[in-house]
Amino acid sequence: MRLITPPIDLGYARRRITQFIADKVRESGLGGVVVGLSGGLDSSVTAALAVEALGRNRVHGLIMPDSRVTPEEDVRDALDLARRLGMRHEVVEISGVYDAFKEAMPFFREDHYVANGNVRARIRMIILYYYANINGLMVCGTGDKSEILLGYYTKYGDGGVDILPIGDLYKTQVRLMARHLGLPRRIYEKPSSPRLWAGQTAEGELGISYEVIDTVLYLYFDRGMDIDRIVEETGISRDVVKGVLTRVYRNEHKRNTPPIPKISGISVSTDWKMPWRMDEGAL
């Protein structure tokens, strides 16, 4: 099997992302960003780039464990990173919120771990937006290109954000960026996991490594190869290639705004465009 790490100019990507963050915050008129810190790869890279873009005083981190499913080492790694970057940070234990949600619903099902895990992701989104609202900040998302394409995130959970600075970096490229930024080895070598239930890992749930996933995604989307060519070039089985791409297309709804039936001449869902550019101060 021949695996391919998508090529990247790390220096250019670093400059492009930090400029993007600075530009989007300036355009918003807000004071900075808040990032959900998990102690994992993506959030650590995002936070480091945000601090580089805005300065440590304009980047806030929220660490939001559920002590029943979040490993203690993840909380330690998140705290260590926040201190290392010199950014403001808070720890919010979400188990009480989760329990209140559970108690409020007569139809709660203890055995539905995916739905219950998604509750945790959506609780974190609510907390991030509350914090952003009261402090005049943007919610800075931490999703990468591999997760976005696969739909490996919670709709209106960790997918509910204002900007996605590393959204055009594949997971394997994010690991390279973490090394480039000088982040601790224990962070960039840690198995990725949303930590939505005990023992969850991304590769365990997906059933395939990110090295294989990124090879397929890169060759198909960036290089324009069809399935036959990918199988021939890499030796990855056809079933695996088709499985990765099926997940991409099955989860397309996560990447789109909710559909609206077209009734009027111009639907905001399918063909809306601003008919003019507002002059400065027109509103």
Instruction: Tell me the domains of the chain and their CATH numbers.
Output: 10-200 (3.40.50.620)
Judged against a pLDDT cut of 90, whether residue 274 lies above it is answered with: no
Judged against a pLDDT cut of 80, whether residue 279 lies above it is answered with: no
- For residues 175-190, one letter each, b for 16 or more C-beta atoms within 10 angstroms of the residue's C-beta and e for the rest, the string is bbbbebeebeeebbeb
At 202 the pLDDT is 60
Decide if 102 contacts 108 (C-beta within 8 A).
Answer: yes
Looking at the chain, the whole-number percentage of residues with pLDDT higher than 70 is 90
Q: Which residues pair with 60 in a beta bridge?
A: 34, 88
At 2 the pLDDT is 93
Residue of 104, 160, 107, 106 lying closest to 129 (CA atoms): 160
Judged against a pLDDT cut of 60, whether residue 224 lies above it is answered with: yes
* pLDDT band with cut points at 50, 70 and 90 for residue 181: very high
Decide if 101 contacts 128 (C-beta within 8 A).
Answer: no
Phi-psi region of 92 (alpha: psi -120 to 50; beta: other; left: phi over 0): beta
Q: Where are the alpha helices (DSSP H) in 153-226?
A: 171-180, 185-188, 202-206, 210-217
At 195 the pLDDT is 62
Residue with tokens 């139809």: 107
Decide if 65 contacts 74 (C-beta within 8 A).
Answer: yes
Tokens, residue 183: 């982040």
Q: What is the pLDDT of residues 95-111, one digit of tens each?
A: 999 999 999 999 999 99
At 113 the pLDDT is 85
The residue that leads in pLDDT, 198 or 219, is: 219
Q: What is the pLDDT of residues 188-211, one digit of tens each?
A: 888 776 666 566 666 677 788 999
Judged against a pLDDT cut of 70, whether residue 178 lies above it is answered with: yes
The whole-number average pLDDT for the span 253-279 is 75
* pLDDT band with cut points at 50, 70 and 90 for residue 170: very high
Cα separation, 283 vs 223, in Å, equals: 44
What is the pTM assigned to this prediction? 0.91
At 268 the pLDDT is 75
Least confident span in 156-165, 178-187, 193-202: 193-202
At 62 the pLDDT is 98
